[in-house]
Amino acid sequence: MTNAAPPASALVLGAMMFGTTIDDDTSFALLDQFVARGGAWIDTADCYSFWASDTGLGGDSERVIGRWLAARPGMRERVKIATKLGAEPLWAGSWPNRRAGLSRRAVADALAGSLERMGIESVDLLWLHQEDRSIPIEETVDALAEITGAGRAARVGASNHPAWRIERARAHAASIGSTPIDALQLNSTYLRVRPGTRPPGVEHAFGVLSDEQRDYADVHGLEVWAYTPLLSGAYDNPEKEIPEVYDHPGNRRRLAELDAVAAELGATRGQTVLAWHVARGVRPILGGSKLEQLDAAMDAVRIGLTADQVARLDRPA
């Protein structure tokens, strides 16, 4: 039995490099094509992309989105915007030791800056970018309650947080009658890293989607978003090697099954990985810089895997 083809809105357009390595013209073209093909969610952050910017600080990505919205009257009503806060360096070169964090004041100030850069009054989803153990999670939730209560964010989510802190945050939100965290954003791909390792670029101890985080999300009805699902193109680009942390016997079996299912679908490995995420209820984020990459991803999320194909791909190594 084949699952019904998911909508194009299952894919998120990641805007991380807009305004730095991706210029305005290319960013606008990607955004236009994304919407034209039925996409809805755009994901950014106040710190994107400080490591590639001239100033050593973030904000470039949000400014590009702001310029695009200003040049496209009526577009704000057609898209959903998610941004993150908490990971912006306090000054150039200070990350990761000195970052904005998640205090009550830092959360309020960061969102105000994001809204100003994008020229909008509210976001559809506000993410806590990474955990901040120097601040009680209850203080952060109080700040989020003020934001959602004022209508400046419709929903709140958390990226790179352990499940236990999400549970504490949601319990405190329930106790004060505020909007609870209802989404998790974590690194997820089809291959699995060796125990005790992390994928390249994942700096956070709880940044990779675990079985516990997924179980928590399933039981409590939280959305799961996946960043870097395509290993930056390594599934299909022969010039890019799959990172060494994925080199183990279990993944050799998974790659063989991935190739088999991809052949049945007439799709690439990467497209099959995206379709697998969507079939399992995970919303993948695409961070490509080329229109053909976007089109391939938009095609991929419309693929309906059969229950047998999903089961084969999910089979333990």
Taking CB atoms within 8 Å and a gap of at least 24, the contacts of 244-247 are: 245/193, 245/194, 245/197, 245/198, 245/199, 245/200, 246/191, 246/192, 246/193, 246/194, 246/199, 247/194
Q: Is 114 exposed, middle or buried (0-12, 13-18, 19+ CB in 10 A)?
A: buried
Q: How far apart are CA 83 and CA 36, in angstroms?
A: 22
**Residues 6+ away with beta carbon under 8 Å from 222:** 166, 181, 182, 183, 184, 216
Radius of gyration of the chain (CA): 19
- Residue with structure tokens 């989607």? 209
Catalytic residues, by residue number, are 48
Q: How many Å from the N-terminal Cα to the C-terminal Cα in the chain?
A: 24
In degrees, rounded to 5, the angle at the alpha carbon of residue 217 between the alpha carbons of residues 215 and 223 is: 140
Structure tokens at 119: 């020229």
Distance between CA atoms of residues 233 and 271, nearest Å: 11
